[in-house]
Structure 1
């Protein structure tokens, strides 16, 4: 690779792998990778579980208003991320709606966006809420392809709702679950707008993801560092996708 920054835009020098070494030894980049990993590890399973439970409820348990609930759950998917993030920022402000609701029950709410302990969970909660609607639609399509006779036979044999879910529904949905896991992992690894709008990566860089690190480095005029970090992020996404698609192929 070459070395180039804002101070010397026309001075291009070949530096080999130096940029990658600098990025991989940068504590800020490693911290951003850890933050991104936490977001992925926590949010993706939550998205899958919540989407599956809601899909099952909409497909079987709810007898009225199915179209209404499907629309409500899907609205965050088609709403602008920035608009949602701005609303989320007001909801979780120190004197926002969430703390006001907690105060009504005598609970002193924390500084959600100013406390490093609570800031990242607040971002993760937004990511989950924004993404589960898409996965729910995928699961609904899969549930409607499962023969009703299987559930009827299990019900006649005395299987409970939980047993039918574990023994019939989930195994039949494995290919769709793995596909949803791939899609959500790729999307969440690149999470940027939520922390950028709500916390700007703070407090104390506790919500600064890898995508934000790349954005900041480019903004500081460190084009070489930003490019190297982008290649590393692309390699991580490609590796995760390859592993998940291999798993998907083995299950289908």
Structure 2
């Protein structure tokens, strides 16, 4: 009786081939995201967990002590007048920076969108501070804002006796805000300009034909269409304002008194001047929570005023 012989195995089925391709695609995707994942674990999540752990300890480098203290550092923050002053200074700085930066950037973008002669030079003039070293920019402004500096020298030519900008409380905070506004307003200006150039021309023309004035057309047509960019710029500016350090360190060193001692500079003082790393870690955790809450609130309120949000 003849016996059947088995031939070589046939080609894999279409389902099996599709499964192999899907597995290869998955492995390829993991290979591409693995460096970013490892970097996030090592330089973001890991340090964040470590800071929370340090905040629960009394870590004094000078005394060479590292003991578990529970929530003592956070209880100390609640009753620390210096931390309360830092919160107030950060709130004033953030409010002033966001108001001036966003409004000025939007106004400059509207002007540039008119395509008037000299627009390229004007845009380069306001964007150039963005690429300048932050410390170099701040040092130059420090010389200009001194009691006998360039700004008061110019005012004296007009018969005006200028104040000591960096050594008086109100003018010190105002000076730091203005320096930061001129440093970063160019970036927000470019973002707003890109958004304005994306607004359909036909929509603005239709509003004009319906009898809307330029001002009414801007607020009722243009602003809603660029509201997504306004949200982005607002979030970036708020987060950046709460992280300011170099300007304070170079211009005022937190003075006069504690009028310009913002949270990050207060954190620096506690960690590197007083060597209380556990307490400084608690300050950084609170700062992280504040930034997270403000970002979350801004993101959640977008549905009320951002166009096309549902």
* TM-score, structure 1 as length reference: 0.95
- Bigger mean CA deviation after superposition, 66-75 or 226-235: 66-75
Q: Does 1:8 align with 2:63?
A: yes
Whichever of the two has the greater Rg, that structure is 2
CA distance in 2, matches of 1:146, 1:218: 48
Q: 1:216 aligns with which of 269, 279, 285?
A: 269
CA distance in 1, matches of 2:260, 2:131: 24
CA distance in 1, matches of 2:177, 2:271: 25
Aligned residue for 2:281, secondary structure, equals helix
Segments ≥4 residues shifted beyond 6 Å = none
Q: 2:220 aligns with which of 146, 164, 167?
A: 167
Matches within 5 A, 1:225-236: 225-236=279-290
**Structure 2: gaps (5+ residues):** 1-55
Q: Deviations over 1:93-135 (max 9, x none)?
A: 1111111111111111011111112110100111111121111
* TM-score, structure 2 as length reference: 0.78
CA distance in 2, matches of 1:54, 1:12: 52
Matches within 5 A, 1:31-110: 31-60=85-114, 62-110=115-163
Matches within 5 A, 1:91-240: 91-219=144-272, 220-240=274-294
- Cα distance, 1:179 vs structure 2: 1.0
CA distance in 1, matches of 2:123, 2:236: 20
Aligned residue for 1:202, secondary structure, equals coil
- Cα distance, 1:77 vs structure 2: 1.3
The 8 Å contact of residues 51 and 132 in structure 1, kept in 2 or not, is answered as yes
CA distance in 1, matches of 2:210, 2:57: 68
CA distance in 1, matches of 2:267, 2:236: 22
Number of residue equivalences: 250
CA distance in 2, matches of 1:125, 1:84: 12
**Structure 1: gaps (5+ residues):** none
CA distance in 1, matches of 2:299, 2:220: 24
What is the aligned-residue RMSD (CA, Å)? 1.3
The 8 Å contact of residues 179 and 248 in structure 1, kept in 2 or not, is answered as no
- Bigger mean CA deviation after superposition, 186-195 or 68-77: 68-77
The 8 Å contact of residues 76 and 130 in structure 1, kept in 2 or not, is answered as yes
CA distance in 2, matches of 1:45, 1:117: 17
- Cα distance, 1:249 vs structure 2: 5.2
Aligned residue for 2:165, secondary structure, equals coil
CA distance in 1, matches of 2:182, 2:249: 17
Q: Does 1:25 align with 2:79?
A: yes
